Amino acid sequence: MKKRKEGLISVVVPIYNASLYIEECLNGLLSQTYKNMEVILVNDASTDNTKWNVNTKLDNLYKDLFLNSTGDK
């Protein structure tokens, strides 16, 4: 279990077929002045390239990014 970090906030973003918008969403979150934050993406069985974009393209760009996928086939 992770040790709790003082002042850390968790931002949970539900995503479904968001491949066209996920990078813009993450850029918006990361441009906030409060930096002690983690982003948790919850993918609800997207049928587009959302999961691929997060796993291959965006994972290298963003620290503290977690993807939880449900309903994968």
The set of residues, in sequence order, having a beta carbon less than 8 Å from that of 29 and lying 6+ positions away, is 11, 13, 37, 39
Determine the length of the chain: 73
* pLDDT tens-digit map of 25-38: 888 988 999 988 88
Would you say the pTM of this structure is higher than 0.75? no
Q: Tokens at residue 27, please?
A: 């850029």
The per-residue pLDDT for range 13-69, each reduced to its tens digit, is: 998 999 899 889 888 988 999 988 888 888 888 899 888 878 776 666 666 566 666
Query: What does the DSSP 8-state code read for residue 68?
Result: E
Q: Is 40 helix (H, G, I), strand (E, B) or coil?
A: strand
